[in-house]
Structure 1
C-alpha cells in the first residue's frame, strides 16, 4: 500500500514540477535556472511543513516521499549547475549552488517553523 501512496504523490508532483519549472523559466530571460530553484524551494518548504505537522506514515509517504520527492529535483539542479560552469557562466553556477543549498535549507526551516506555529 505504501508504494501506491508514493506513486500517487509522485504522479502529481512530477508533472507539477515540469509545469511550474517551465512557467517560471519562461518569465525570465536568463541562463540562470529560476524554474528549478523555484520548485526546489517550494518542495523544501512543503517538506519542512509536513515534517512539523502530526502526519502519519501513509500521509508522509504520499506527500513527503512521493509528492515532494517528485516535485524537487537534485539531478536537474546538478545538471544545470554543471552546464552553467561548462558554458563559462561560472558566477551563475556558483550562485545556483549557494542559492539552492542556503535558500533550500532556509525554506525547509521556514516550513518547519510554520508547522510548529500552527500546531502549538
Structure 2
C-alpha cells in the first residue's frame, strides 16, 4: 500500500480546501491569486498522477483488492479532509 502518496494527497486536500476557503471568505484575496496559489503551490504538492500510477501497478501485480482499497480510501478520506479544511477555513464567517 503506497502510504506516502495517500498521506500527501489527503493532507493536500485538507490544506487546499482550508486555504481556499480562508482566502475567499475571511481574508478576501482576489480569486485569481487564490487560483494561482492553489494550482501553483498546493497543486504541485499533491500527487494525483502518482496516485493513478500506483493504483494501476497494484492492480497489475495481482493486488486488485489493495488497488480498490487504495482507490476507495483515497477518495473517501480525501473528500472528508477537503470538507473539514473547507469548514475550518470558513468558520466564523
Shorter-chain TM band: 0.7 to 0.9
Instruction: Please say if 1:38 is aligned against 2:12.
Output: no
Q: Greater relative contact order: 1 or 2 (C-alpha under 8 angstroms, separation 6 or more)?
A: 2
Which residue, out of 53, 77, 80, partners 1:103?
77
CA RMSD in angstroms, aligned pairs only: 1.3
Aligned 8 A contact 1:43 1:68 in 2: yes
Superposition deviation, residue 58 in structure 1 = 2.0
Residue 112 of structure 1 corresponds to 86
Extract unaligned runs of 5+ from structure 1. 1-31
Superposition deviation, residue 74 in structure 1 = 1.3
Q: Distance in 1 between matches of 2:76 and 2:62?
A: 23
Aligned 8 A contact 2:20 2:34 in 1: no
Describe the SS at the equivalent of 1:96: helix
Instruction: Please say if 1:90 is aligned against 2:67.
Output: no
Extract unaligned runs of 5+ from structure 2. none
Which residue, out of 13, 28, 33, partners 1:58?
33
Superposition deviation, residue 68 in structure 1 = 1.3
Aligned 8 A contact 2:59 2:67 in 1: yes
Q: Distance in 2 between matches of 1:77 and 1:69?
A: 14
Q: Distance in 1 between matches of 2:64 and 2:19?
A: 35
Q: Post-superposition, which runs of at least 4 consecutive aligned residues in structure 1 deviate over 4 A?
A: none
Q: How many residues in Structure 1 have an aligned counterpart in Structure 2?
A: 87
